[in-house]
Amino acid sequence: MSIRLTTSDIVKATGGRLVTGYALAMMELVCLDSRKATPGSIFVPLKGKRRDGHSFIGDAFKRGASAAFVKRGSSVLSTVKKKHTGKNLIEVDDPLAAMGEIARYWRQKLRLPVVAIAGSQTALTRDLAWHIAREPLVAYKSRDDWNDLVGLPRCLCELEGGHKAAILEMGMNGPEGIRRLAEICDPTIGIITDGGSSGQGGVELVRHLGAGHTVLLNSDNPSYAALAKETSAMVVTFGTKKADIHTRSIRPAKGGRTAFDLHVRDEKAHVTMKTDDPSVLDSVPGAAAVAHVLGVGTELIKAGLEQYPRQE
């Protein structure tokens, strides 16, 4: 169970129209596969390369779905209305966009800090940040590959009241895609992991964040200064050189481990991680910056890094 929205909430969020059904029916799950439909789920019929999900609305209802979207003007509307009276059928302009609006509505209802990670090595930065923050903040992290206009809304719909923060990966699928993803997840914290290679997509994320928000930028890349000019949010830097959060004196340790000094503003911690993987070590400053801005103390950041990797 994750979302808890009535059909009335969903109609309000999407600007849709309740064709049949009940305004107070409760939805607790977003479903994209009719074979996995259950009571309390709303089926979202997406158009794929081979099949149109609208062909499976009836199957979703038969398997227990409580509601479904239908694209305005779809030829299946009249048939579904006749065969599945009593079910909640919501007509929308675009089912994919409507799913995004459900996710945004639910995210705003929970009112928790949301971190959006864009750039290169987003998954590693996400995983490291979550390993640090998972216990002190009961943090949620996005699922692997759920970083696009289909996956990211589904992640938001998995958020529950017990979560105190969400750490989400954004796929760099062009400026328009990043702009829409930022609209949906409405992050309070944005991080561009590589500083420059993220291109226009990174600029769109930074531009979305304003006063009262925080942008984390990689000072190892000279272009971070140009990105900083694109936002009115508070800018926090990270990297392996001089930055608000940075690593120094990286050196090998026994057993394939790596030791380094982690500087978090005016504090310093000696860290020994159970890895010598350069890609992991490169992701440490960004992950530590995420945890710091979320309010995790330096000693807990150190403990989280030293426990990585651990079984989820």
* DSSP summary character for residue 53: G
**Final residue in a domain of this structure, among 98, 121, 154:** 98
Q: Does 93 map to a domain? A: yes
Q: 81-114, pLDDT tens digit by residue?
A: 888 888 899 999 999 999 999 999 999 999 999 9
Tell me the pLDDT band of 177, cut-offs 50, 70 and 90. Answer: confident
Tell whether 192 and 56 lie within a shared domain: no
The per-residue pLDDT for 85 is 81
The per-residue pLDDT for 255 is 92
**Final residue in a domain of this structure, among 70, 98, 126:** 98
Tell whether 118 and 9 lie within a shared domain: no
Angle between helices 95-110 and 7-14 (to 10 degrees): 110
Q: Does 288 map to a domain? A: yes
Q: What is the pTM of this model?
A: 0.92
The CATH code of the domain that includes 50 is 3.40.1390.10
Q: Which of 147-161, 192-206, 229-243 has the lowest mean pLDDT?
A: 192-206
Tell whether 29 and 152 lie within a shared domain: no
**Final residue in a domain of this structure, among 65, 98, 131:** 98
* Cα 180 from Cα 184, distance rounded (Å): 6
Q: Does 104 map to a domain? A: no
Tell me the pLDDT band of 243, cut-offs 50, 70 and 90. Answer: very high
Number of domains in the chain: 2
Token representation of residue 279: 């890609």
Q: 44-93, pLDDT tens digit by residue?
A: 999 888 889 999 999 999 999 999 999 998 888 888 888 888 889 999 99
Q: 266-280, pLDDT tens digit by residue?
A: 999 999 999 999 999
Q: In the chain, which residue ranges form alpha helices assigned H by DSSP? A: 7-14, 57-62, 77-83, 95-110, 122-133, 151-156, 174-185, 199-208, 224-228, 278-293, 298-307
Tell whether 175 and 248 lie within a shared domain: yes
Average pLDDT, the chain: 92
Closest CA to 304 of 163, 127, 122, 119: 127
18: domain range?
A: 5-98
The per-residue pLDDT for 119 is 86
The per-residue pLDDT for 2 is 83
As a whole-number percent, the residues of the chain with pLDDT over 90 amount to 80
Q: Please give, one letter per residue, the 3-state secondary structure of 86-151.
A: CCEEEEECCHHHHHHHHHHHHHHHHCCCEEEEECCCHHHHHHHHHHHHCCCCCEEECCCCCCCCCH
The per-residue pLDDT for 197 is 47
Q: Does 107 map to a domain? A: no
pLDDT of 201 strictly over 80: no
